[in-house]
Amino acid sequence: MSETIEHQPHTQAWDNYWQGSRQAGSTGTGGAQDPVLADFWTAFFTTELSALDGARLLDIGCGSGAVTEFALKVSQQQLVHPKITCLDSSASAIEHIKQTFPGVATIQASAADTPLPAGFFDYIVSQFGLEYAGPDALAEVARLLRHGGTIALVMHMRDGAIDRECARDQQAITDVLDSGLFPALTHLFEENMALRKGQGSRVGFELADKALNPCVKAVEAVITGQGKDVVGGLVYRIYADTAHMYQKMNAFDPDEVIAWANKVEGELSAFASRLASMQLAALDEAAMDHCIATLAEHGVEITSQGIMNMGEDDEPAAWVLQGHRKVAAE
């Protein structure tokens, strides 16, 4: 009987993080359950939602619903009933929200161009989502916020802890992809399959076996250089799974191994692209000043600007903005 390859949740971490169940974070800081973020949102909603039962709240770039979950927990504790809308450009994210939070309204749209009415929301919140939509999203936030309404935004910081970790993880993934591990593993198991069927040659198998070795060494170098925990342990898990399949080659169905290799390679490529987009979205101090100026231009006054530290080393990782849309003059 052949062994079955389990598609570990680690290999799906990126899609899970932004579009699915958030089983595992791709980075060690800034995850949905980071205690600093949990404390921030719990305090914010405890202060704000108690004052306005039935408040309309918009979660921009909702992803898997981390912020919405905090809002619902606090509202249940305080016996208030906010009307929450989750907005994301990802269809997978919106589908996940529908399944996880059935009482929450959902909209699939860019934060820079929504179909929502002006002045509709009492609160607009975002955690690592708004910055992806570009500067036009700030004007849209101001348009959607009612006069007297409140915003709370947590955004990626350029050269902050999350940004640096994204760069390290992206480089590690790129090195793994560039190693040629997956094509070499696929070729080896194709040769193994041919031998089992009596259609291949021992020479072809041995050449494929030899070609895999430098690919594995390249992945080992990534782990040696950056540690087993790089990319949340994903690189090491791939390395360990590859070693296990290699050592018990005849116990595995070659078609399953080839499917696994193709699947993981594709997911890693998508993962690297998303990490790159996170880095592009990260804001430096000048960009943050521009954000504040843009909001002010559209009537939103920032009353609190700060830096959020995260991770084991308590390093600066994110910008935090809170403010209100000015009440219209009578």
CA-closest candidate to residue 243, choices 224, 263, 262, 257: 257
The percent of residues above 90 in pLDDT, for the chain, comes to: 83
**244 in Cβ contact with 257 (< 8 Å):** no
The percent of residues above 70 in pLDDT, for the chain, comes to: 89
**Number of other CB atoms surrounding residue 168 within 10 Å:** 15
Three-state secondary structure readout of 187-252: HHHHHHHHHHCCCCCHHHHHHHHHHHHHHHHHHHHHHHHHCCCHHHHHHHHHHHHHHHHHHCHHHE
Structure tokens that stand for 85 in this block: 């809308």
How high is the pLDDT of residue 330?
46
State the Cα–Cα distance between residues 319 and 186, nearest whole angstrom. Answer: 44
pLDDT tens string 127-147: 999 999 998 899 999 999 999
CATH 3.40.50.150 placement within the chain = 17-160+282-325
Average pLDDT estimate for 94-106 = 96
- Could you tell me the strand order of the sheet in which 300-310 lies? 105-108, 83-88, 56-60, 121-127, 145-156, 315-325, 300-310
How high is the pLDDT of residue 12?
37
pTM, to two decimals: 0.84
Binning pLDDT at 50, 70 and 90, where does residue 34 land? confident
17-160+282-325: in CATH 3.40.50.150: yes
Lowest mean pLDDT among 15-29, 198-212, 247-261: 15-29
